[in-house]
Amino acid sequence: MTAEIVIMNKRGVAIAADSAVTAAVDGGVKIFPSANKVFTLSKYHPVGVMIYNSAEMLGIPWEVAVKTYREELGDKSFSHLEDYTIDFLRFLETHAGLFPEQVTKEFPKTEVRTLFVSIRETIFREIRNVLTHQSKLEINDPEELIDTIIEANYSRAKDMAVFEDNNGEAWSKETIKEIEKEYLGIITEIRDEVFQDTEILTSKQKRKLTDTAKLALTKAVGAAGYTGVVITGYGDSDYYPALSSFEVYGNIGGRVRFIWNKNKSIHVNDDTNAAIVPFAQSEMVKMFMEGIDPSYQLTINEAVSSSIRTTADVLVQNFSNEAKEEKDRLVDNIVGKVTKEISDTLSKEKWKHFIQPILSVLGSLPKTELASMAESLVNLTSMKRHISSVSETVGGPIDVALISKGDGFVWIKRKHYFDKDLNYHFFANYFR
């Protein structure tokens, strides 16, 4: 994992990222504090890119993909920041040799197998929990238990967003049917391979597993992981900075599987003159902005909702003569209205006393202060991980860059794996 942030106002945009990367190795995981996650997308124009979550796509390091695109782009520019994003996605989909044919053929199999293995392990784990009286599902019948687990995975996959095209439109029904038809044989083969020693599966359960795998190929289930990509800066016609973000889930049938991160795609303008946008591990940034830890806020919400439901249930059961179904409906109605009113009130207070005052000052910050703030917020997350009992998945040197319309992409802090004084040729060749 990682901690990254983009801070923007009308003067420019600051980006900062830590250097920790988690790698799976035999017997566990290793954390290396030296990964590069911030890059210039163009050598000549004010555009940068950040990567979070997975450091590779189909076995190709994102650093290689970004720098290959940068060479192909040359001194070409676009009118708007979003045009760089669309062109970069086009490059990922069409660049010959970047993703070998054999690798792209194997990816759907990896996605399906990862999904099925995860479901299989969940089934076996819950069966063991039932036998040792540790299950929280309160289900003793094996078939019902398996039904519940398979249905939960199917429902989760069904609720995920369908992959999109460059225009932000979901894949068409024709495209989805084409992919499902093409990979049905592979899905069935892998399903039977993974569950071959699970003879208690019924035909209905096998069909549901197949349907879940179909969804995993065309929706953002992310069984085999994903990479978040953040592109920020200016197009030629952009006077204020913009941010474009999307998540990439590999490549299937020659199509890049991605979802636009619309709630984190921002234009600075007269209505939005400043923004703080965290990515990946963002709990400390949210606590700084909202005045409360997100996990603690969730606990409070659940406790309040539970208390309201208990109180409402007692009142309705004792003072209502309606049938049971009507009583349940009344309880749900009371809980919904009261919790919404509490949530709306708290949201207004957060905005008034925490978020709005910070954004009002942020809109006036000089460029150097933007960079300092970005670094500090990433460092805050790193410090929290360092002094807590969890793995230090955020850490290492913090790379900081500042992008402005007039000065372009400027590194404020940047780690090098080599001594700059011994490698003048590197900088001489950069613009060659």
The residues, ordered by sequence, that sit 6+ positions from 55 with a Cβ below 8 Å of its Cβ are 21, 35, 61, 62, 63, 227
pLDDT score at 95: 85
Say what the pLDDT of residue 140 is: 67
124-149 residue pLDDT tens: 888 787 777 666 666 667 778 888 99
Q: In sequence order, what E strands does 124-184 have?
A: none
Whether the Cβ atoms of residue 37 and residue 54 lie closer than 8 Å to each other: no
Residue type, 346: L
Q: Which two tokens stand for residue 248?
A: 């990439």
Percent of the chain with pLDDT over 70: 96
* Measured distance CA(43)–CA(47) in Å, rounded: 9
Other Cβ atoms less than 10 A from the Cβ of 332: the count is: 12
Residues forming a β-bridge with 229: 51, 246
Q: What is the mean pLDDT of each run of 10 residues along the chain (432 residues)?
A: 92 95 72 90 97 89 95 96 96 84 88 94 84 69 84 95 91 94 95 82 91 96 90 97 95 90 92 94 91 91 91 80 79 89 92 93 95 95 85 88 96 89 84 76
Sequence spans of domains, the chain: 3-99+224-282+391-430, 101-218
Of residues 428, 287, 414, 391, the one with CA closest to residue 32: 391
Amino acid code (one letter) for 174? E
Closest CA to 61 of 23, 5, 105, 110: 23
> Which architecture characterizes domain 3-99+224-282+391-430 according to CATH?
4-Layer Sandwich (3.60)
Q: Return the bridge partners of 230, or none.
A: 50, 245
SS3 364: coil
Cβ neighbours of residue 118 closer than 8 Å, sequence gap 6 or more: 223
Nearest by Cα to 39 from 57, 66, 13? 66
Closest to 224 (Cα-Cα) out of 257, 201, 180, 264: 257
Nearest to 289 by CA among 353, 365, 372, 374: 353
| Gyration radius of the chain over CA positions | 25
Which amino acid does the sequence have at 365? Answer: L
Report pLDDT for 394.
Answer: 85
**From CA 107, how far away is CA 186, in angstroms rounded?**
12
Do residues 408 and 46 touch, judged by C-beta distance below 8 A? yes
**Long-range contacts at 109-114 (CB < 8 A, ≥ 24 apart):** 109/186, 109/190, 110/224, 111/216, 111/217, 111/223, 111/224, 111/250, 111/252, 112/183, 112/186, 112/187, 112/190, 112/191, 112/213, 112/216, 112/217, 112/223, 113/190, 113/194, 114/223, 114/224
